[in-house]
A and B are shown apart, each in its own frame.
Chain A
Amino acid sequence: MNIKQCEKTCEVSGLKASPGIVIGRVVVVDNCATWQRIRLLREEIPPEILRFKVAIARTEHQLMNIRDQFTEHLPDYSSIINSHILILKDGMISNQTVKIMEKELINAEWALDKALQAVEVRFARLTDPYIKERFNDIRHVVERIYRLLGGEEKVEEFAEKVILVARDFSPEDTLRMNQDRILGFMTDIGGITSHTAIVARTLGIPAVVGLGNITGQVTTGDLVILDGNSGRVFLHPTADKLNFYRENQIRQKRFSEQINFYAHLPSETIDGLQIQVKANIEIIDEVALAVKHGAFGIGLFRSEFYYLGSTEPPSEDLLFELYHQLLTRLAPFPVTIRTFDLGGDKIAGNVSSPDEKNPALGLRAIRFSLQEGNLFKTQLRALLRAGFHGHLRILFPMISSLEELLQAKEVMEEVKEGLRRDGLPFGEDIEVGIMIEVPSAVAVADELAREVDFFSIGTNDLIQYALAIDRGNENVAHMYEPLHPAVLRMISQVVESGHKMGIDVGLCGEMAGDVTYLPLLLGLGIDELSMHPLAIPYIKKMIRSSKAGDMDQLARETLTFSTAAEIRNHLSNYLSDKYPDEFGSPL
């Protein structure tokens, strides 16, 4: 990457780790430890050892503080932090460093580096990738000692609020970010599912990660715009851009302050229609976020995450433990878990997956599950067993025919039979539902409704399949149209088929969290909306200022239009008429 280019205004794209817009001066945190190698005289060693021991003690104190302060919100971290404390006090770090200082007459930083290198050599021999990766924990701890050896951290010295920039931050770094001083952060490396990103989202600290070489592109004191909503960073922004973002930021801040008030209010229309508002999540750590934003349960737990990135698929017991935790943390609210929606190429240890020209139409989701019976049965066993301990709903993805549904249900019966034989308790009355995301399922929704307890419409895929549009293809992406009359008629048909059989119909695509579609979806008769946790408060606010009668009429009128443009226009007028505070001027 050319650094010179960035003396002028420029834009760098990364991954949207945590939403929010912040504008401020950056502080580049060199948490990759720069220090000097100094030879000492023998009489200088005892005070140097003392300096090192003070740093160790302060590091321990810091870690314990972090643990005590935050584990209430993020219980999973107390065990991570406990292991960090043990690492800190381990002889291979602390005693070894002191020994090296005494023997080689060198300063604490240098000796600590030598001690760390010895540990690294030992870890480098390991073959198990997961255990090997734990060396990063050791590095995080040692970096913390370095920082305290250098006195106070630089960050604390800044009077104005700053944006932190570093190669990477550990989850503890993120937990410790003082929101009175820190606006947000950006990093060179990291992913959106890292613990660091999850902590940032949970605490509401805007962040963009995976920016490549941002530490090389900015200098402390530079003005930047960090847009966590789009995963972009603007360096040396122009006055116009700054004004645009400042206004945007003020609007968003005022808005989110007002909106969070609605998070824990009931989701009920003025005329008393109850709508279930739930969260879509994929990692157990996101439960805290969902609860904080007022989710009435989890409407879609994407179970794929736990199949990715390991050398073999998760065991039944591991999955049971995961689902059990999920259900207990959300009790008494229901949790809908979707069985894995993956192609064979994503499953660890599965080598037999053929190359597919068209994976969206290929062997994935329920098709793959039915073919790879054992993986599917393992997941179902774990689900059913966990269902004994909470309110579980099981959701099958990508059902395209009645036969497929019956086949999946048959596998489930087999699994139940097996559990009975093994004398293991399981939830007997777990509700079973299907995703409606393939157009053929819409056409036979009436047949499918007889066999399930609920429907969940996955609009992202349904729209793609119905309109034959690949959203990732920039030549046609603009034709992806949620308001296409075909899409609305399909939603209406599914709701009608479901309600005729007395089952609930939910919707869990991106449409569910978009307030502009809300009155239309509710008018069409959707019973449950499941969305990104952060979208919940605004959706609740909108529901609370809506009238079921008005929305019914809107939906009826809308279904008579023949083009998306007419529908958009009609909807836009409706929004500015019924919600003048939100949509005063037409969209």
Chain B
Amino acid sequence: MKLLTKEITIKNKSGLHSRPSTLLVETAKKFSADIHLILDQMSVDCKSILDVMSLGCTHGTRLTITARGKDAEKALDALAKLISDKFGEE
């Protein structure tokens, strides 16, 4: 199965703190694809809240999301939308 990737920028002001990370992980978990976040050559599991939070992404951080699996494309779209909508916050 092909590995899909997407570049995104964290736009909400406070970065990936508890609430946005929770939303990101809950969304990723809806898909069967393997989903990872990559920052500075560090790759973490997007379905693990501790992985996601420990990246310490702040406002303006640029990330790559990767997904592999049969719903990979849908997963990438959903996650990118969540991030570009700033998780419904500022």
Known: A315-B90, A317-B90, A321-B89. A86 touches B25 (CB 8 A): yes
Which A residues are CB-close (under 8 A) to B64? none
Instruction: Assess whether A80 is in contact with B90, with CB atoms less than 8 Å apart.
Output: no
* Minimum C-beta distance from B84 to chain A (A): 15
Asked whether any CB of chain B lies closer than 8 Å to the CB of A243, the reply is no
Using CB atoms, name the residue of chain A closest to B47: A91
- B15, B21, B90: most-surrounded residue (chain A CB, <10 A): B90
Q: CA–CA, A128 to B58, complex, Å?
A: 7
Which A residues are CB-close (under 8 A) to B73? none
Instruction: Assess whether A92 is in contact with B22, with CB atoms less than 8 Å apart.
Output: no
Instruction: Assess whether A321 is in contact with B16, with CB atoms less than 8 Å apart.
Output: no
Using CB atoms, name the residue of chain A closest to B54: A122
Instruction: Assess whether A91 is in contact with B45, with CB atoms less than 8 Å apart.
Output: yes
Instruction: Assess whether A125 is in contact with B49, with CB atoms less than 8 Å apart.
Output: no
Known: A87-B49, A87-B50, A91-B48. A126 touches B56 (CB 8 A): yes
Asked whether any CB of chain A lies closer than 8 Å to the CB of B51, the reply is yes
Known: A80-B18, A86-B22, A137-B18. A132 touches B50 (CB 8 A): no
Asked whether any CB of chain B lies closer than 8 Å to the CB of A69, the reply is no
Asked whether any CB of chain A lies closer than 8 Å to the CB of B70, the reply is no
CB within 8 Å of A: which of B19-77? Answer: 19, 21-22, 25-26, 45, 48-51, 53-54, 56-58
Which A residues are CB-close (under 8 A) to B19? 79-80, 83
Known: A86-B25, A91-B45, A321-B89. A130 touches B17 (CB 8 A): yes
Q: CA–CA, A90 to B45, complex, Å?
A: 10
Asked whether any CB of chain B lies closer than 8 Å to the CB of A583, the reply is no
Q: Which of B50, B56, B58 contacts A90 (CB 8 A)?
A: B50
Instruction: Assess whether A132 is in contact with B56, with CB atoms less than 8 Å apart.
Output: yes
Q: CA–CA, A237 to B38, complex, Å?
A: 60
- B48, B51, B53, B90: most-surrounded residue (chain A CB, <10 A): B53
- B18, B45, B89: most-surrounded residue (chain A CB, <10 A): B18
Using CB atoms, name the residue of chain A closest to B16: A131
* Minimum C-beta distance from A438 to chain B (A): 34
Instruction: Assess whether B13 is in contact with A131, with CB atoms less than 8 Å apart.
Output: no
Asked whether any CB of chain B lies closer than 8 Å to the CB of A127, the reply is yes
Instruction: Assess whether A131 is in contact with B51, with CB atoms less than 8 Å apart.
Output: no
Instruction: Assess whether A119 is in contact with B54, with CB atoms less than 8 Å apart.
Output: yes
Which A residues are CB-close (under 8 A) to B58? 128, 131
Which B residues are CB-close (under 8 A) to A80? 18-19
Q: CA–CA, A203 to B50, complex, Å?
A: 31
Which A residues are CB-close (under 8 A) to B57? 131
Instruction: Assess whether B90 is in contact with A318, with CB atoms less than 8 Å apart.
Output: yes
Q: CA–CA, A123 to B49, complex, Å?
A: 12
* Minimum C-beta distance from A306 to chain B (A): 12
Size of the A side of the interface (Cβ < 8 Å), in residues, is 28
Asked whether any CB of chain A lies closer than 8 Å to the CB of B14, the reply is yes
Q: Which of B21, B22, B51, B90 contacts A321 (CB 8 A)?
A: B90
CB within 8 Å of B: which of A253-298? Answer: none
Mask of A120-143 contacts with B, CB within 8 angstroms, 1/0: 001101111011101001100000
Q: CA–CA, A122 to B15, complex, Å?
A: 17
Asked whether any CB of chain B lies closer than 8 Å to the CB of A536, the reply is no
Which B residues are CB-close (under 8 A) to A127? 56
Known: A79-B19, A91-B48, A131-B16. A86 touches B56 (CB 8 A): no
Instruction: Assess whether A134 is in contact with B17, with CB atoms less than 8 Å apart.
Output: yes
Instruction: Assess whether B49 is in contact with A86, with CB atoms less than 8 Å apart.
Output: yes
Q: CA–CA, A315 to B86, complex, Å?
A: 14
Q: Which of A86, A126, A137, A320 contacts B54 (CB 8 A)?
A: A126
Which A residues are CB-close (under 8 A) to B53? 123, 131, 134
Asked whether any CB of chain B lies closer than 8 Å to the CB of A248, the reply is no
* Minimum C-beta distance from B29 to chain A (A): 9
Instruction: Assess whether B13 is in contact with A317, with CB atoms less than 8 Å apart.
Output: yes
Asked whether any CB of chain B lies closer than 8 Å to the CB of A179, the reply is no
Asked whether any CB of chain B lies closer than 8 Å to the CB of A82, the reply is yes
Using CB atoms, name the residue of chain B closest to A319: B90
Which A residues are CB-close (under 8 A) to B50? 87, 90, 92-93, 119, 122, 138
Q: CA–CA, A345 to B16, complex, Å?
A: 29
Which A residues are CB-close (under 8 A) to B16? 131
Instruction: Assess whether A79 is in contact with B22, with CB atoms less than 8 Å apart.
Output: yes
Q: CA–CA, A217 to B18, complex, Å?
A: 35
Instruction: Assess whether A131 is in contact with B49, with CB atoms less than 8 Å apart.
Output: no
- B16, B50, B58: most-surrounded residue (chain A CB, <10 A): B50
Q: CA–CA, A93 to B13, complex, Å?
A: 28
Which B residues are CB-close (under 8 A) to A131? 15-17, 53, 56-58
Q: CA–CA, A80 to B53, complex, Å?
A: 14
Q: CA–CA, A320 to B18, complex, Å?
A: 21
Instruction: Assess whether B54 is in contact with A128, with CB atoms less than 8 Å apart.
Output: no
- A79, A119, A128, A132: most-surrounded residue (chain B CB, <10 A): A128
Instruction: Assess whether A318 is in contact with B26, with CB atoms less than 8 Å apart.
Output: no
Which A residues are CB-close (under 8 A) to B15? 128, 130-131
Q: Which of A79, A91, A128, A138 contacts B56 (CB 8 A)?
A: A128
Which A residues are CB-close (under 8 A) to B13? 315, 317-318
Instruction: Assess whether A90 is in contact with B48, with CB atoms less than 8 Å apart.
Output: yes
Instruction: Assess whether B22 is in contact with A123, with CB atoms less than 8 Å apart.
Output: no
- Please, could you name 14 A-B residue pairs with CB atoms under 8 Å apart, sorted by A? A79-B19, A87-B49, A90-B49, A90-B50, A90-B51, A91-B48, A92-B50, A119-B54, A122-B54, A126-B54, A131-B16, A131-B56, A318-B13, A321-B89
Chain B residues engaging chain A, CB cutoff 8 angstroms: 13-19, 21-22, 25-26, 45, 48-51, 53-54, 56-58, 89-90
Chain A residues engaging chain B, CB cutoff 8 angstroms: 79-80, 82-83, 86-87, 90-93, 119, 122-123, 125-128, 130-132, 134, 137-138, 315, 317-318, 320-321
Query: Could you list 17 further interchain pairs (A-B, Cβ under 8 angstroms) beyond the known A317-B90, A318-B89?
Result: A79-B19, A82-B26, A86-B49, A91-B45, A123-B54, A127-B56, A128-B15, A128-B58, A130-B17, A131-B16, A131-B56, A131-B57, A137-B18, A315-B90, A318-B13, A318-B90, A320-B90
